[in-house]
Homo-oligomer: A and B are copies of this chain.
Amino acid sequence: MTMELMDLIIEGEKEALQQTMEELQPYDMYLIYHKLPDKHQTKLLAMLELEQIAKLLMEMEPDQQMKVLIKLGAGKAGAVLDLMDNDDIAALLTSLPPDKVKGFLSLMKQEESLIVKKMMDYPPDTAGRLMTNRFVWIPEHYTVRETVDKLKYFAEITETFNYMYVVDSGRKLKGVISYRDLILHDEDEKIAHIMFTRVISVSVTTDQEMVARLIERYDFLSMPVVDEEDKLVGIVTVDDVIDVVIREASEDIAKLSASGKDITFETKATVAAYRRLPWLILLLFIGLVSGTIISSFEETIERVVALTFFMPMIAGMTGNTGTQSLAVVVRGLTTRTIDRKTVVRLVLREFRVALMIGVICGLLISLIAFFWKGSMVLGFVVGSSLFLTLIFGTLAGTVIPLILYRFNIDPAVASGPLITTLNDILSLFIYFGIATMFLTQLM
Contacts from A to B (Cβ < 8 Å)? 23-27, 148, 151-152, 155, 160-162, 179-180, 182-184, 198, 200, 215-219, 221, 238-239, 241-243, 245-246, 249-250, 252-254, 256-260, 263-265, 267-270, 272-273, 276-277, 279-281, 283-284, 286-288, 290-292, 294-295, 298, 301-302, 305-306, 308-317, 319-321, 323-328, 330-332, 335-336, 338, 342, 345-346, 349-350, 352-353, 356-357, 360-361, 364-365, 368, 416-417, 420-421, 424, 428
Shortest beta-carbon distance, A388 to chain B, in Å?
15
* Given A148-B183, A180-B155, also A319-B198 (CB < 8 A): no
Shortest beta-carbon distance, A319 to chain B, in Å?
7
* Given A249-B249, A265-B342, also A283-B198 (CB < 8 A): no
**Contact A357–B280 (Cβ < 8 Å):** yes
B residues near A364, Cβ cutoff 8 Å: 281, 284
**Contact B217–A27 (Cβ < 8 Å):** yes
Give A220's nearest chain B residue, CB to CB: B239
B residues near A265, Cβ cutoff 8 Å: 328, 332, 336, 338, 342, 345-346, 349
Shortest beta-carbon distance, A154 to chain B, in Å?
11
Shortest beta-carbon distance, A21 to chain B, in Å?
12
Shortest beta-carbon distance, A395 to chain B, in Å?
13
Q: Which of B155, B272, B331 contacts A253 (CB 8 A)?
A: B331
**Contact B245–A319 (Cβ < 8 Å):** no
**Contact B357–A273 (Cβ < 8 Å):** yes
Pick 25 A–B contacts, CB within 8 A, sort by A.
Answer: A27-B217, A151-B184, A162-B162, A162-B179, A179-B183, A216-B243, A216-B246, A238-B239, A245-B245, A245-B249, A249-B250, A249-B253, A253-B253, A253-B331, A257-B323, A258-B320, A259-B328, A280-B321, A280-B324, A284-B365, A292-B309, A294-B308, A302-B305, A308-B308, A316-B421
Question: Taking the full assembly, how many copies of this chain does it contain?
Answer: 2
Shortest beta-carbon distance, A246 to chain B, in Å?
6
A263 to B200 Cα, complex, angstroms: 31
Q: Nearest 5 pairs between A and B by C-beta? A: A287-B313, A249-B249, A179-B179, A257-B327, A259-B324
Q: Which of B180, B272, B328 contacts A160 (CB 8 A)?
A: B180
* Known A162-B162, A216-B246; 5 more pairs at CB < 8 Å: A253-B327, A259-B323, A264-B332, A276-B324, A284-B361
**Contact A416–B257 (Cβ < 8 Å):** yes
- Which of A241, A332, A428: most chain B Cβ within 10 A? A332
B residues near A305, Cβ cutoff 8 Å: 298, 301-302
